[in-house]
């Protein structure tokens, strides 16, 4: 079967990458570009057999990789970063063809961020991951970060390579070996990363890629008792299935899941700033878990904000993501477009009002859905409570600060929140009360890998970034040494 694809001018081997070799499967699945619906690759369809081979290879490689010094592991990660930077154009073009996100964003920020992820965790390993020994009644305590073992990493489709490397980089830096299972809707850059890892000199079995469907390859990987860490970014239902499988083996998990984040605008806010940031919530065609999809606007500026927001959103150019002038590209997959349409249809049937959008872009056809704003929804309705993961925002009016906080927290999610106000004391008060893993005040998507990242409630379990990543990917050990009983 043909498993070498020419995508955006680049050759992509779509076999699995296991133990340093390309491994085929008996069957393949089609990878479809959301830009125009064309089949751009036939990808090896892994299952239980390929999952077993990958974990076996990773477990064998772990015995030697765990003994590699932090300095040498860091050198490997720095080399990977260098190779990513050399291939930014290729990686950007392939990823845009694969998942439909804006090419200019991939070039300018996303792929450079991939390289930064590797550099950051390499440097953190050697420069910051230090615990000073301490004394207890004359006994010396020594805390060490020991590699945990095989890590299965399951990445999503909305920012495939960047989000995968948030996991891959700290897992490798910690001394673990990795099996990466990318989403079947955007599998290609994971395969290119395997080529980069091999060129960077990672020993066979240290980094592996298994392609395939979640219910086949993914399910087999998370059920394997030899796996010692599982990190997953995706939906709540899938996370619950993974958690059930992990419970049988008591495998530690880290979940970064969905959101229904509040975007709170007080009447003393810088209106221009708030409006510009509100329009940014349509980024990546709304396929961003952090997006502030619930606009909570204070009554004093409600009419002015809504009018100007509608003007700005409707002016966004939608089209081919390879065009530098495009602001909104397509949805990832026909199933996902159908899901978005279902949410909006049910919201209208329940009495909500569509201010603008509310339908696919008939002029473009395919998977393009118009930026949408909904008002008049019941705060406890589906459209107000569930993650649509598309270019659909729902707006509500509030009167005072207490009501704003109550509305912000009135959801099962707690991933992020945005607060816009000119009062720094109010910003502090509201930030302290909102339940979210990240609260941005008068800004959006300011991200530092030194900070913890993750969600509360159904938005996830655990945190990524800095020491929190190493806390997860390592077995922390405390060795206690008595001053007595030594020979000599």
Average pLDDT over residues 249-255: 98
Residue 53 lies in a domain: yes
Residue 487 lies in a domain: no
474 is catalytic: no
pLDDT in tens, 181-225: 999 999 999 999 999 999 999 999 999 999 999 999 999 999 999
Residue 449 lies in a domain: no
Number of domains the chain is built from: 2
Task: Tell me what pLDDT residue 131 has.
Answer: 85
Same domain, 221 and 291: no
Task: Tell me what pLDDT residue 2 has.
Answer: 61
- How many CA atoms lie within 13 Å of 80's alpha carbon, on the beta-carbon side? 32
Same domain, 337 and 371: yes
Residue 67 lies in a domain: yes
Residue 448 lies in a domain: no
User: How do beta strands 460-461 and 372-375 pair?
Assistant: unpaired
* Cβ partners under 8 Å of residue 271, min gap 6: 301, 304, 305, 308
Same domain, 375 and 305: yes
Token pair for residue 132?
């000073």
Same domain, 414 and 289: yes
Q: Which domain CATH number covers 357? A: 3.40.309.10
The dihedral over CA atoms of 384, 313, 183, 321, expressed in degrees to the nearest 10, equals 170
Catalytic residue among 95, 184, 216, 289: 289
pLDDT in tens, 114-145: 999 999 999 999 999 888 899 999 999 999 99
Say what percent of the chain tops pLDDT 90: 97
- How many CB atoms neighbour CB 63 within 10 A? 11
pLDDT in tens, 151-188: 999 999 999 999 999 999 999 999 999 999 999 999 99
pLDDT in tens, 419-439: 999 999 999 999 999 999 999
- For residue 488, name the pLDDT band (cuts at 50, 70, 90): low
Task: Tell me what pLDDT residue 132 has.
Answer: 87
- Residue 105, pLDDT > 80, answer yes
pLDDT in tens, 437-457: 999 999 999 999 999 999 999
Average pLDDT over residues 217-237: 97
pLDDT in tens, 451-482: 999 999 999 999 999 999 999 999 999 999 99
- For residue 3, name the pLDDT band (cuts at 50, 70, 90): confident
Same domain, 201 and 77: yes
Same domain, 227 and 314: no
Residue 135 lies in a domain: yes
Residue 452 lies in a domain: no
- b/e string for 236-257 if b means 16 or more Cβ within 10 A? bebbebbbebbeeeebbbbbbb
Average pLDDT over residues 381-410: 98
Task: Tell me what pLDDT residue 1 has.
Answer: 57
- Rounded-to-integer distance, Cα 471 and Cα 479, Å: 17
**H-run or E-run covering 478:** strand 474-481
- Rounded-to-integer distance, Cα 21 and Cα 31, Å: 22
Same domain, 208 and 275: no
Task: Say if CB 421 and CB 446 are below 8 A apart.
Answer: no
Q: Which domain CATH number covers 473? A: 3.40.605.10
pLDDT in tens, 396-423: 999 999 999 999 999 999 999 999 999 9
Same domain, 282 and 251: no
289 is catalytic: yes
**CA nearest to 367, candidates 190, 157, 216:** 157
Same domain, 214 and 279: no
- For residue 98, name the pLDDT band (cuts at 50, 70, 90): very high
- Rounded-to-integer distance, Cα 414 and Cα 385, Å: 12
Chain position carrying tokens 């995706």: 234
pLDDT in tens, 302-350: 999 999 999 999 999 999 999 999 999 999 999 999 999 999 999 999 9
Same domain, 204 and 268: no
Same domain, 166 and 75: yes
- For residue 4, name the pLDDT band (cuts at 50, 70, 90): confident
Same domain, 364 and 394: yes
- Residue 389, pLDDT > 70, answer yes
Range of the domain at 242: 4-257+459-478
Residue 330 lies in a domain: yes
- Residue 91, pLDDT > 80, answer yes
* Cβ partners under 8 Å of residue 186, min gap 6: 95, 98, 99, 157, 160, 332
């Amino acid at each position: 079967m043909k498993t070498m694809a020419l995508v955006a001018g680049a050759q992509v081997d779509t076999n699995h990458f296991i133990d340093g070799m390309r491994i085929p499967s008996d069957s393949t699945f089609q990878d479809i570009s959301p830009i125009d619906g064309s089949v751009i690759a036939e990808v090896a369809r892994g299952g239980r057999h390929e999952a077993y081979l990958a974990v076996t290879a990773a477990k064998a490689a772990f015995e030697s990789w765990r003994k590699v010094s932090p300095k040498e592991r860091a050198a490997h990660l720095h080399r990977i970063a260098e190779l990513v930077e050399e291939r930014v154009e290729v990686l950007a073009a392939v990823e845009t063809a694969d998942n439909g996100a804006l090419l200019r964003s991939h070039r300018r920020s996303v792929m450079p961020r991939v390289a930064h992820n590797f550099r950051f965790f390499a440097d953190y390993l050697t420069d910051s991951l230090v615990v000073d020994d301490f004394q207890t009644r004359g006994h010396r305590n020594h805390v060490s970060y020991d590699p945990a073992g095989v890590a299965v990493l399951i990445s999503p489709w909305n920012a495939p390579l960047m989000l995968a490397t948030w996991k891959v980089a700290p897992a490798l830096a910690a001394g673990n070996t990795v099996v990466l299972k990318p989403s079947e809707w955007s599998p290609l850059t994971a395969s290119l990363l395997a080529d980069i890892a091999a060129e960077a000199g990672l020993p066979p079995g240290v980094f592996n890629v298994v392609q395939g469907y979640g219910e086949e390859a993914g399910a087999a990987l998370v059920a394997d008792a030899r796996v010692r860490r599982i990190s997953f970014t995706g939906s709540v239902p899938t996370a619950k299935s993974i958690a059930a499988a992990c419970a049988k083996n008591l495998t530690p998990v880290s979940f970064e899941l969905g959101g229904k984040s509040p975007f709170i605008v007080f009447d003393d806010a810088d209106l221009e700033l708030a409006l510009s940031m509100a329009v940014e919530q349509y980024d990546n065609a709304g396929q961003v878990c952090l997006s502030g999809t619930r606009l909570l606007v204070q009554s004093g500026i409600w009419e002015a904000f809504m009018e100007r927001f509608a003007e700005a959103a409707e002016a966004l150019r939608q089209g081919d993501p390879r065009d530098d002038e495009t602001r909104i590209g397509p949805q990832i997959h026909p199933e996902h477009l159908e899901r978005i349409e279902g949410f909006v249809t049910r919201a209208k049937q329940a009495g909500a009002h569509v201010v603008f959008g509310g339908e696919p872009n008939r002029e473009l056809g395919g998977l393009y859905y118009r930026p949408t704003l909904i008002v008049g929804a019941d705060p406890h309705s589906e459209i107000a409570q569930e993650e649509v993961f598309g270019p659909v925002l729902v707006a509500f009016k509030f009167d005072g600060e207490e009501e704003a906080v109550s509305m912000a927290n009135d959801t099962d999610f707690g991933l992020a929140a945005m607060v816009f106000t000119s009062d720094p004391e109010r910003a502090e008060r509201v930030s302290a009360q909102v339940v979210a893993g990240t609260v941005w005040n008068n800004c959006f998507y300011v991200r530092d890998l030194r900070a913890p990242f993750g969600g509360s409630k159904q938005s996830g379990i655990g945190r990524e970034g800095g020491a929190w990543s190493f806390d997860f990917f390592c077995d922390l050990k405390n060795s206690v040494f008595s001053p007595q009983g030594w020979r000599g």
